Amino acid sequence: MEESDYQRKIYYILLASFAILTGFLFKILASVFLPVITAALLACVFAPIIQKINYKFKIPWTILAVLITVFLFFIILGVSSLLISSVTSIVSEYPKYESKFLHIYKILANSFDLRFDEDMSLAGNIWQHLKVREYIQGIVVTLSTGLVSSGKNIFLVLIFSLFILIEYRMTNRKISYAFADRAKGKILRVIRRIIQEIVHYLSIKTAISLATGFLVFLVALCFGMDFAILWGFLAFTMNFIPTFGSIFSCSITTLFALVQFYPNYPKVFAIFTLIILINFMLGNIIEPRVQGKNLGLSPFVIIVSLTLWAYIWGTVGMIIAIPMTVIIKIICENISYLHPFAILLGNDPKQTKRDFQ
């Protein structure tokens, strides 16, 4: 008994060391792991769709995988074009907001005892008195590097997704040859459960995010906000990040409304209130009811996972934090030594114990 407890302690120490080492490797080798894992998650979503179409219409699997990849490429291309045109429109419309920006900056300068020269433009005041030259240069370099890196990562994700989807149909056969009957059954159950949970989560999250973005777009349009499509798209994208994403999108949209409609505070307050209500109703009332208890993650674990994956992979890490944590929980449920961790990650101990295989 004592020897068994000693072995268990050694096992947990080695497991903790392995987890920490894996986390550091994920961060250090992000350029390698991030595209592969993102592609794997996308493949988990589209593989069941390809499977159904292949079974029903007898279209070759490889052709369907290529068509899905091309479809994703055009979706990304369309979104990129929308973002570029929106940013271009904001830059071209900037002179219209110059006086309002300058007035708001004057109020901030008086409040925080900053230097302000009325004969200079807003950019001139910020450039000369706040000494942000180095920061601006750093931001420009970071953005240019980030755009090149993002383009490369998107290309890699699409290529990896294509090959993973093509290989997916051989998964059962490979596992059958590679493992014994008992291990084979457990591995196949884990894979099916992971795919089921990821598809369930991402499909509902996408639907809720689309509804959030569309309603925010309507609010912006009804109140006459410029670039309404951009604010709707921002709400849609940020809604994939639990809690923090909605706060960020609400803050940015409200800030722009303040700049555009200043000093019409009631209008700005109405926009802020409606956006908050949309995010609260869809994110805190409707989504939990539709999502149900399938994920079974503790709210505290969700917050910790967001922080952890954000540290490892930044914004993309926050977006895929929940699917990654669900995968870890499912793996823990299927390894007897890791059952305590599955219970700690879960929201309902009884439900988690029922999920043990």
Query: What pLDDT sits at residue 276?
Result: 94
pLDDT over 70 (residue 239): yes
Confidence class of residue 67 from pLDDT cuts 50, 70 and 90? very high
Query: What pLDDT sits at residue 21?
Result: 92
* 130 part of a folded domain: yes
* 220 part of a folded domain: no
* 318 part of a folded domain: no
* 177 part of a folded domain: no
**What SS3 string covers the chain?**
CHHHHHHHHHHHHHHHHHHHHHHHHHHHCHHHHHHHHHHHHHHHHHHHHHHHHHHHHCCCHHHHHHHHHHHHHHHHHHHHHHHHHHHHHHHHCHHHHHHHHHHHHHHHHHHCCCCCCCCCCHHHHHHHHCCCHHHHHHHHHHHHHHHHHHHHHHHHHHHHHHHHHHHHCCHHHHHHHHCCHHHHHHHHHHHHHHHHHHHHHHHHHHHHHHHHHHHHHHHHHHCCCCCHHHHHHHHHHHCCCCCHHHHHHHHHHHHHHHHHHCCCHHHHHHHHHHHHHHHHHHHHHHHHHHHCCCCCECHHHHHHHHHHHHHHHHHHHHHCHHHHHHHHHHHHHCCHHHHHHHHHHECCHHHHHHCCC
Structural domain of 4: 1-169
pLDDT over 70 (residue 250): yes
pLDDT over 60 (residue 1): no
Mean residue pLDDT across the chain: 81
Query: What pLDDT sits at residue 220?
Result: 93
Query: What pLDDT sits at residue 241?
Result: 86
Predicted TM-score (pTM) of the model is 0.80
* 353 part of a folded domain: no
Q: What percent of the chain has pLDDT over 70?
A: 77
Give how many domains the chain has, as a whole number: 1
Q: Which of 7-11, 206-210, 266-270 has the lowest mean pLDDT?
A: 7-11
- Segment 285-292 shows an average pLDDT of 75
- Segment 283-304 shows an average pLDDT of 77
Please tell me which residue, 153 or 52, carries the higher pLDDT value.
Answer: 52
* 184 part of a folded domain: no
Q: What percent of the chain has pLDDT over 90?
A: 23
* 230 part of a folded domain: no
pLDDT over 80 (residue 96): no
* 50 part of a folded domain: yes
pLDDT over 60 (residue 154): yes
